Amino acid sequence: MNDTQPLFTQSQLEAIAAALADTSEGLTGSEIGHLLATCRLSDPTPSMTKRHRLYNAFAESQNSRQDRRAILAFIRHAMKPERYARCPERFEPMRTNLNRSRDRP
Quote the CA–CA distance of 104 and 91 in Å, as a whole number. Answer: 21
pLDDT of residue 44: 96
pLDDT of residue 17: 97
pLDDT of residue 25: 85
pLDDT band at 3 (very low <50, low <70, confident <90, very high): low
Reply yes or no on whether the pLDDT at 96 is more than 70: yes
pLDDT band at 1 (very low <50, low <70, confident <90, very high): very low
Quote the CA–CA distance of 42 and 100 in Å, as a whole number. Answer: 26
Asked if 48 and 56 count as a contact pair (C-beta separation under 8 A), the reply is yes
